[in-house]
Structure 1
Amino acid sequence: MTRDVQITFDCADPAKLSAFWAEALGYRLQDPPPGFESWDQALDAMGVPPERRNDASALLDPGGAGPRLFFQRVPEGKQAKNRVHLDVRAAPGLQGDARMAALEAEAERLAGHGATRLARHEPAPPLDAGHIVMADPEGNEFCLD
């Protein structure tokens, strides 16, 4: 039996972090519940006060293949290095200089959306094709692979 997987991010600002990951992955904000034209309209009907409207956010893969991403507000900040991280496949099928150039271009693009570059790992054949370690706007590490 297979199961669907949702990836959950604990964060301080769900709207901001979900906007970053939507840009990074080409995902889209989950639609409001049926019968509502916007999330504000749905949250009004549910009686959610304005100060709680950024408690959560969710993204979907528009193609339906990737997992749902869920962002939930938590009171504490990030404390240590991630034990699990995402690898964003930004250069599939590329090798050597072409691969690293594609990864550099994506690192630059995501830095423009609030990511921070942490490290570059050069190709070391046969097992390591090279990658760039980044952090999202709240410091969660991910790799451009």
Structure 2
Amino acid sequence: MATHWTLGCDAADPHRIAAFWAIALGYVAEPGYDDPDGASIIDPDGVGPAIGFLRVPEGKTAKNRMHIDIRVAGEPPWNMAEHEQLIRAKVAELVTAGATAVREESYGEHLGHVVMLDPEGNEFDVA
């Protein structure tokens, strides 16, 4: 059996960043978690790990060494035209929620993923 784990994240505004990632991942606020300096989101189906956000005084100073890849089309093989439409739709949704699109990366002639920044400047990909 796999070990249960939680992804812990530093944040300037834990509630704002938790709300963003809940939208991005289809998560919900963890019931009963009530902390002004922290927030936690969970997979409503109980499959994915919980993600906790704790307020820290220092800001982000460098590129993150680990990041989340959001796979909107599941696992390959994909219909590449449909895959690109799913990526672009998710990118637009996340820009509306406060993210910034940084650049597009291609696999040959097809869109592979879009590099983005969350509202606190943490890098992630939509693939």
Q: Please, what TM-score do these two structures have when normalized by structure 1?
A: 0.79
Q: Figure out how many residues of one structure are paired with residues of the other and give that number.
A: 125
The residue aligned with 2:21 is 21
CA–CA separation in structure 2 for the residues paired with 1:18 and 1:63? 18
1:76 partner amino acid: E
The residue aligned with 1:115 is 99
- Superposed CA RMSD in Å reads 1.8
Q: Which has the higher helix share?
A: 1
Percentage identity across aligned positions? 40
**Which whole-Å deviations, capped at 9, do the CAs of 1:66-117 have from their partners, x for residues lacking one?**
0000000001111111100001111225342321221011101100000000
Question: What's the secondary structure of 1:17's corresponding residue?
Answer: helix
Where does the alignment leave 5 or more consecutive residues of structure 1 unmatched? 34-38, 40-52
The residue aligned with 1:138 is 120
Where does the alignment leave 5 or more consecutive residues of structure 2 unmatched? none
Instruction: Kindly name which structure, 1 or 2, has the bigger radius of gyration based on alpha carbons.
Output: 1
Residue 31 of structure 1: how far off its partner (Å): 0.8
CA–CA separation in structure 2 for the residues paired with 1:112 and 1:54? 25
CA–CA separation in structure 2 for the residues paired with 1:129 and 1:101? 10
Question: What's the secondary structure of 2:124's corresponding residue?
Answer: strand
CA–CA separation in structure 1 for the residues paired with 2:47 and 2:99? 25
**Which whole-Å deviations, capped at 9, do the CAs of 1:41-63 have from their partners, x for residues lacking one?**
xxxxxxxxxxxx53100011000
